[in-house]
Amino acid sequence: MGDLRDWCISRQLWWGHQIPVFYCDDCEHEWASLKDAEHECPKCASKNIHQDPDVLDTWFSSALWPFSTLGWGNGDVEMDKLFTSQDMKDFYPNSLLITGFDILFFCVARMMMMGESFMGELPFNHIYLHALVRDENGQKMSKSKGNVIDPLDMVEKYSADILRFTLAISAAQGRDIRMSTDKLEQNRNFTNKLYNAAKFLQMNVDTFHDLKGFCVESALGRYMLSRLNVATAEVRSCMDEYRFNDAATAVYRFIWNEFCDWGIELSKADKGAIVELGAIFKESMKLLHPFMPFITEYLYHELSGTSLENADSVMIMKYPYKTKKRLKDEARFEIIMDVIISIRRAKVLVDLANQKIEKAYVKIDNISHEEQELMKPFILKLAKVDIVEFTASKVENSVSDISQKCETFIPTESIDLAPIINRLSKQDEKLQKEIDKLSGMLNNERFVANAPEDVLAKNRELLADAQSKQKKVIEQLNSLKN
């Protein structure tokens, strides 16, 4: 706040706060008054006086806003309706101001001067300055460019929830926001995901308890609860630092990638856990509520068997606050998910990606029998296997996959290999033909001598590529034929 110049506060307008300065036309005395009207000069008692016709710059009254709205200088006009005597103590300085860069000096600097001057304290604890909203190509929106996104149209076309969430998840500090209908579409998918998750839960259980006072006992329930707690910790710490985009991302990731992609899928192997997942989902609606207040309210009540008309709103319920991570429950499910991914990968190798297979072996170091039994149903269901066996050593004659926490094996005797071998052999032949053709050209001295350098480089590249592909196909064939 250095290098300040005088501020011209008078405006030659009619609409505004008329300057409360009066002039005596006789003795030229000039005075300011709190009264609406003055009738005589306090110095010479002349009735020949007039008020300054100018009004105050608009920013004069805005500059007082952080404390004038708390009752400062209002007298008792509409006290206890528009403000209370407690307000100044509770709400000054204001906790936060959110505004755009564009009015930083015009508004914010003047609020600071007035606050400091009249209250003896700056008017805000924090100021959050947000950036500009641009179009998807980073262009400023303008009518002449025809790239304006009208927020009210978007509310109509998508929903207030979707528009709000899209703005929030894009609001990285210090960076302009790029807005596009693609982003709005993507977040519409998110609301569909929420809706479908709730629908799945309710296909199994009619209504769900609140998480508070409810005992989550199943391994899956405990795992999901732990993940909710982790997300809660992240959302809270982001919100406390006004990192709106990170907070929105954290809740999005939990609900979509963890709860829907894994939690719901895993619950198909443990339907008893669904009653717990429902309570956890309801809690996640509270976590999401500030961003998407409407659909969260709706789904929360749907799953509770209540409706807003006859129950309290989510907006005055306690925000999720438990942040404890359950390491043991998390470690178990990290292994379960790793095994499922590993078997799925092995199945891709033998063209059985989406089909059920008879048997798979899993090799994990240091795992108790009890844990094996816990893991089995999830693996069977999600990896689509009839029998899963834990093994301490490699399994011969099998297709295998090595993952972070496990190795998995699909025994070749349990699958019909003929069509796979057939496909790989054909691939091998085709690659061989290509290799013959390319190496024929590259071994032809005249071709090499006459062809442009970039053509030669291209052909060499193609040859190396075909050779490495063939090598992999042959390796795969050999492992299957054994």
Partner 1 sequence: MSQKSYEPSTTEDTFYKIWEERDYFEVEGNKEIQEDAKNFSIMMPPPNVTGRLHIGHALTFTLQDIITRYKRMDGYKTLWQPGTDHAGIATQNVVEKQLLAEGTTKEEIGREEFLKRAWAWKEESAGIMTSQLRKMGVSPAWKRERFTMDEGLQKSVKEAFVHLYNQGLIVRGNYMVNWCTHDGALSDIEVEHEDHDGKFYHIKYPFADGSGFVEVATTRPETYFGDTAVMVHPDDARYKDIIGKKIRLPLTEREVAIIADEHVDMEFGTGVVKVTPAHDKNDYEVGKRHDLEFITVFDEKAF
Cβ proximity to partner 1, 190 vs 378, nearer residue: 190
Size of the chain, expressed as the number of residues it contains: 482
In this structure, what token pair is assigned to residue 324? 């404890």
Closest CA to 476 of 326, 351, 292, 381: 351
Q: Are 195 and 187 in contact (CB under 8 A)?
A: no
CB of 38 to partner 1, least distance (A): 12
d(CA 405, CA 403): 6
CB of 260 to partner 1, least distance (A): 16
**Ranges assigned E (strand) in 375-474:** 385-390, 398-402, 407-411
> Quick one: how far is CA 341 from the chain centroid?
25
CB of 186 to partner 1, least distance (A): 16
Closest CA to 361 of 335, 390, 341, 397: 390
Cβ proximity to partner 1, 81 vs 369, nearer residue: 81
CB of 47 to partner 1, least distance (A): 20
d(CA 99, CA 87): 22
Beta-ladder partners of 206: none
CB of 439 to partner 1, least distance (A): 60
The alpha helices in 29-75, defined as continuous H runs, are: 58-68
Position of tokens 């998807």?
Answer: 136
Cβ proximity to partner 1, 199 vs 460, nearer residue: 199
Closest CA to 357 of 331, 386, 332, 335: 386
In this structure, what token pair is assigned to residue 381? 């269901």
Position of tokens 């790239």?
Answer: 147
The alpha helices in 78-210, defined as continuous H runs, are: 87-91, 110-119, 151-157, 160-170, 181-204
Dihedral sign (CA 381, 384, 385, 388): negative
Cβ proximity to partner 1, 315 vs 402, nearer residue: 315
CB of 118 to partner 1, least distance (A): 6
Cβ proximity to partner 1, 129 vs 462, nearer residue: 129
Q: What are phi and psi of 105, to 5 degrees?
A: -75, -45
Closest CA to 110 of 10, 5, 21: 5
CB of 210 to partner 1, least distance (A): 14
Cβ proximity to partner 1, 56 vs 441, nearer residue: 56
Q: Which amino acid is at 45?
A: A
Cβ proximity to partner 1, 248 vs 367, nearer residue: 248
Cβ proximity to partner 1, 65 vs 223, nearer residue: 65
CB of 318 to partner 1, least distance (A): 5
CB of 226 to partner 1, least distance (A): 22
Cβ proximity to partner 1, 239 vs 463, nearer residue: 239
